[in-house]
Amino acid sequence: MNFGHFDDANKEYVITTPDTPLPWINYLGSQDFFSLISNTCGGYSFYKDAKLLRITRYRYNNIPVDSNGKYYYIKDGDSIWNPGAMPTRTSLDAYECRHGLGYSRFHGEKNGLAADLLAFVPVDTPCEINKLTLKNNSDAAKEISLFSYVEFCLWNAVDDMTNYQRNLSTGEVEIIGSTIYHKTEYRERRNHYSFFTVNAPVDGFDTSRDDFLGLGRGNNNPIAVEEGKSRNSVASGWYPIASQQINVTLAPGEEKEFVFLLGYCENPKDDKWEAPNVIKKDPAKKIMEKFAASQQVDAAFAQLNAYWDELLSRYHVESQDPHVNRMANIWNQYQCMVTFNMSRSASYYESGTGRGMGFRDSCQDLLGFVHLIPERARERILDIAATQFEDGSAYHQYQPLTKQGNLDIGSGFNDDPLWLIAAVAAYLKETGDYAILDEMVAFDCHMEKAATLFEHLRRSFEYSRTHLGPHKLPLIGRADWNDCLNLNCFSNEPGESFQTTGPSEGPVAESVFIAGMYVKYGNEFAEICRRVGKEKEAEIAQKAVDEMYQAVLDAGWDGEWFLRAYDAASQKVGSHECEEGQIFIEPQGFCIIAGIGVKEGLAKKALDSVKERLDTKYGIMLHQPAYTRYYLNLGEISSYPPGYKENAGIFCHNNPWISIAETVIGRGNRAFEIYKKTCPSYIENISEIHRTEPYVYSQMIAGRDAARHGEAKNSWLTGTAAWTFVNLSQAILGVQPTYDGLSIDPCIPEGFGDFTLTRRFRGATYYFDVKNPNNVVKGVAYLEVDGKQVKGNVVPVEDGKKEYHVTVHMA
Ligand code: BGC
Ligand code: NOJ
């Protein structure tokens, strides 16, 4: 069942009912100012950091669900309604929400009045623009009252939800004409404030929530709107809001436009603070002047669209499969941008106050983003690396605003260091910018402890090399990619938090998954060493990698698949000998991506086992059988009911690993079958089962053991975005950036047909024309580069050449 449809020409998903199974959201903003916005106008805004600089208030866990946002009430006679249906939920004669790239549009209609709302964050200004157009489609004149509504958050979102004894006395606003300034915290010498304004004279306003709503009422029936009369309230403490009333007369056929702006401002840091509660209005004024007229707003909107057109032109495929085209050219790349921006901080499932930027998460997000804006990827790499400790381990998370590592979580996830190598290798291949390796980067967020980025990579590898267990496999520490496989958590008391107790690293618990990473990214490290002339170091690294390869064959193979781990008592995890959890997805994917077992014939066996034991129609499960009871030696993984999350859920993130692994052994049909199972566009028509947004990936789909098999959770912020893009663009369609240039080696399903692909790379544009007359799944006979025949898969780079026309002859 569908609740809307894709509009590919406009790069939009069109939602045709407010009654989606869950709020279906979008992200506005791509640099500093961000908003989350649902298909019923719920959501919130923040500047850079959803925890520390939250501009508007949102209530997670609220009832009704998703009932705070930026709302416009239309009072037309006795009927009161909102263009996005919420919060009044008055039934509308027409409703539509279009989520596009960095913007959302709403169309509501009631009793001959149409309201069109366009919400977006311009590319270069810290504000959200809401352009509201009202049109009278009836034959009679209309006198209506329009009320706006946003509720301010008192900046620090955690404090805002907890410290009421203080907060209820700190709120301050200032009202000048049509503009409401929110200046809480200004008095204490923070230099930020926000404002909400409209480009028209107002007939009233409210800044006190209780006055506007009326005590005992909700935002579904504010008293001021019901009575058609703002209270002109001035908030002093309590709950500051911004609401404007505008009375509008519309002749039949007449249309009026209003531009509402929510802006964020900072005053100069060296401000003298002579009158501490008097905010300097100039920055706000600048923003208001910039978007005072509809034409300016339209120009900013055109600029936003051009921005996205340019970004997406860097990778574009035209195949015969509309799902592939749509995901590769629009939604998958879009989600990569969002995950890059948000890491795991703010979504409808991440509260914005919790996880911030994840070390392993952001390193992986970068893999799907680096081709879009390499300069931002560069900056991110340096930020992430600065949260590494001198011994090569790393803070597991850091705060986006302060860029300080999170001390509560600390370190000890032993896969983290290797992800840094993954990110840097991807960046180097994309850009050829070896200078990044010479950048001085802090350790432990302290510049006094800085060293070059290359040194950081060296420490990453050294940490892994020197933390091996009895089977010469990497020690797992607190967990590896699977946060819930806590093999050293045997000391956890019932009810204690899994990740903050227990020894961070036991002497023996080992991870075969990290071993796969070690081989893959150890090879990358050795290659980077070679590229910068450190031959000796490359040799040492290579030797260590070769030993690890052997260790996996010796102690990491279970007979039909790769083992998952050894626990703290050196017992096998993910073996046919286990009672439950006999086979896990992660090592099958990553060991084979690393090439382990390919020439030994183990890869095919392992992947066949995955198909036989882990596959479902909705995707591949993490492990089987699911854990039916809690295991002290395994930790959080067994705390979930069977089929959910890490306990045998379908983690979308590592499905592409298996798909990529299938391309490693050349099975294009199976690789694509796996791709399709979790691909949003392919499963749009089971939206009533899947429930999350059909245009983006979710973190998890309930596995076979769950009552709600097929139901997805945690949409948007997942490494799935990056890994599926890597899978589709590099493994299936086969265009890979390498140190020496772009290589192409598709691995496609039979019947996929010919396709063309445009790829921007290091300042040049590559036009690939892939011909597959014999319908093979893999194999390139030769390339023709601008008419010249070339052997191998890499397009040779010619200095100064701006365009490459490459015909790829598969055979
Ligand atoms: C979740 C994991 C997540 C972790 C983060 C766990 O409860 O199951 O998916 O990575 O929390 O701390
Ligand atoms: C979500 C976390 O953000 C990610 O880091 C982790 O790898 C997966 N959960 C699996 O546990």
> What is the rounded CA–CA span in Å between residue 499 and residue 118?
43
42-48 average pLDDT score: 98
Q: Which atom of ligand 2 is nearest to the CA of 479?
A: 11
User: Which residue's alpha carbon is nearest to atom 3 within ligand 1?
Assistant: 483
Residue whose CB lies within 8 A of the most ligand 2 atoms, among 384, 411, 586, 653, for a mutation test: 653
- Residue 501 is predicted with a pLDDT of 43
Cis peptide upstream of residue 64 (ω within 30 degrees of 0): yes
Q: What is the pLDDT of residues 101-148, one digit of tens each?
A: 999 999 999 999 999 999 999 999 999 999 999 999 999 999 999 999
The DSSP 8-state label assigned to residue 494 in this structure reads T
User: Which residue has its alpha carbon closest to ligand 1 atom 10?
Assistant: 483
Q: Whose CA is nearest to atom 11 of ligand 1?
A: 483
In the beta sheet, which residues pair with residue 743? 736, 794
Residue 276 has pLDDT above 90, yes or no: no
Atom of ligand 1 at shortest distance to CA of 700? 9
Question: Which residues pair with residue 712 across a beta bridge?
Answer: 701
Residue 189, pLDDT > 80, answer no
Closest residue by CA, ligand 1 atom 7:
484
What are the DSSP E strand ranges found in 427-491?
440-443, 446-452
The torsion angle over the Cα atoms of residues 274, 277, 282 and 285, rounded to 10 degrees, is: -170
Residues 757, 770 contacting (CB under 8 angstroms): yes
Residues forming a β-bridge with 197: 261
CA 192 to chain centre: 27
Among candidate residues 66, 76, 415, 483, the one labeled active-site is 483
Task: Give the residue-averaged pLDDT of 741-755.
Answer: 98
Query: Counting ligands in written order, which one lies closest to the CA of residue 406?
Result: 1
Considering only CA atoms, which residue is closest to atom 5 of ligand 2? 361
Return the residue whose CA atom lies nearest to atom 7 of ligand 2.
Answer: 481
Q: Which fold has domain 4-309?
A: Beta-galactosidase; Chain A, domain 5 (2.70.98)
Closest approach atom of ligand 2 to CA 361:
5
| pLDDT tens-digit series, residues 201-250 | 999 999 999 999 999 999 999 999 999 999 999 999 999 999 999 999 99
For residue 396 and ligand 1, the question of a CB distance below 6 A is answered with no
Instruction: Quote the strand ranges of 432-549, DSSP E.
Output: 440-443, 446-452, 510-511
Ligand 1 within 6 A of 483 CB? yes
Rounded-to-integer distance, Cα 316 and Cα 416, Å: 32
First to last CA, the chain: 40
Q: Which of 80, 125, 85, 130 is nearest to 105 (CA)?
A: 130
Ligand nearest to the CA of 652: 2
Q: So what's the pLDDT on residue 507?
A: 74
Model confidence at 280: pLDDT above 80 = yes
pLDDT one-digit tens code per residue, 523-582: 999 999 999 999 999 999 999 999 999 999 999 999 999 999 999 999 999 999 999 999
Ligand 2 center from residue 358 Cα (angstroms): 9
- Measured in Å, residue 485 CA sits from the centre of ligand 2 at 11
737 CA → ligand 1 middle, Å: 32
Residues ≥6 apart with Cβ < 8 Å to 309:
none
- Closest ligand 2 atom to residue 483 Cα is 11
Give which of 637, 676, 645 is closest to 658, Cα–Cα. 676
Helix ranges restricted to H, 142-207: 157-162, 164-167
Banded model confidence at residue 268, pLDDT cuts 50, 70, 90: confident
Q: What is d(CA 562, CA 554) in angstroms, rounded to the nearest whole number?
A: 11
- Rounded to the nearest angstrom, the distance between the alpha carbon of 636 and the centre of ligand 1 is 9
> Which residues fall within 8 angstroms of residue 507, CB to CB, at 6 or more apart?
469, 475, 568
**Is it the case that residue 431 has pLDDT exceeding 80?**
yes
> Which protein residues are within 6 Å of ligand 2, measured from CB?
344, 358, 360-361, 481-484, 646
Q: Tell how far CA 67 is from the center of its chain.
A: 23
Select 735-810's CATH number: 2.60.420.10, 3.40.50.300, 1.10.3210.10, 2.130.10.10.
Answer: 2.60.420.10
Higher pLDDT, 277 or 697: 697
Q: Using one digit for the tens of pLDDT, what is the confidence trace for 170-186? A: 999 999 999 999 999 98
Q: Output the DSSP codes for 20-44.
A: -SS--EEEE-SSSEEEEEETTSBEE
Tokens representing 657? 């690993």
Amino acid 505: pLDDT? 59
Q: Is the pLDDT of residue 451 over 70?
A: yes
Whether 416 is in the pocket of ligand 1, judged by its Cβ within 6 Å, is no
CA dihedral 180, 186, 191, 194 (to 10 degrees): -20
Best residue for ligand 2 mutational test, from 342, 344, 351, 361 (most atoms within 8 Å of Cβ) = 361
Spatial contact of 483 and 636, defined as CB atoms under 8 Å apart: yes
pLDDT in tens, 491-516: 555 545 444 444 455 678 999 999 99
Q: Which of 416, 484, 637, 652 to mutate to test the pocket of ligand 1 (most atoms within 8 A of CB)?
A: 484
Q: 483 an active-site residue?
A: yes
Kindly report the pTM of this predicted structure. Answer: 0.97
Please give the pLDDT value at position 502. Answer: 44
Segment 294-345, tens digit of pLDDT: 999 999 999 999 999 999 999 999 999 999 999 999 999 999 999 999 999 9
If you measure from the C-alpha of residue 483 to the centroid of ligand 2, how many angstroms do you get, rounded to a whole number? 6
Domain ranges (residues) in the chain:
4-309, 343-466, 735-810
Q: Which atom of ligand 1 is nearest to the CA of 499?
A: 12
Report the range of poorest mean pLDDT among 174-178, 187-191, 695-699: 187-191
| Ligand with an atom nearest the CA of residue 482 | 2
Centre of ligand 2 to C-alpha 482, Å, is 6
Given this model, what pLDDT does residue 497 score?
Answer: 46
Q: Tell me the CA distances in angstroms from 39 to 25, 43, 104, 470, one per residue in order.
A: 6, 10, 8, 53
Ligand number, closest to the Cα atom of 651: 2
Token pair of 333 as six digits: 């790349």
Q: What is the mean pLDDT of the chain?
A: 96
* Interacting residues of 246 by C-beta distance below 8 A, sequence separation 6+: 145, 146, 198, 200, 201, 202, 203, 258
Instruction: Judge contact between 556 and 481, C-beta under 8 A.
Output: no
Percent of the chain clearing pLDDT 70 (strictly above): 97
The residue type at 791: K
Q: What is the pLDDT of residue 186?
A: 87
- Residue 621: φ, ψ to 5°: -80, 160
458-475 pLDDT, tens digit each:
999 999 999 999 999 999
Structure confidence at residue 763 as a pLDDT band (50, 70, 90): very high
Under 8 Å between Cβ of 531 and 434: yes
Residue type, 380: R
Q: Does ligand 1 come within 6 angstroms of the Cβ of 350?
A: no
What b/e string do you get for 523-559 counting C-beta neighbours within 10 Å, with b at 16 or more?
bbbbbbbbeeebeebbeebbebbebbbebbeebbbbe
Q: pLDDT grade, residue 149 (50/70/90)?
A: very high
Q: Say if CB 626 and CB 580 are below 8 A apart.
A: yes
Quick check: 778 pLDDT over 80?
yes
Shortest-distance atom of ligand 1 to CA 699:
9
State mean pLDDT over 579-599. Answer: 98
- Look at 48 and 495; give whichever has higher pLDDT: 48
Please return the burial class of 599, using the count of CB atoms within 10 Å of its CB with bins 0-12, 13-18 and 19+.
Answer: exposed
Q: Which one-letter amino acid corresponds to residue 257?
A: E
Mean pLDDT value across residues 388-409: 95
Residue 397: in which H helix or E strand, if any? Answer: strand 397-398
| CB-ligand 1 contact for 646 (6 Å cutoff) | yes
Query: Is the Cβ atom of 471 under 6 angstroms away from ligand 1?
Result: no
Residue-wise pLDDT for 333-376, tens only, equals 999 999 999 999 999 999 999 989 999 999 999 999 999 999 99
Ligand 1 in contact with 645 (CB < 6 A)? yes
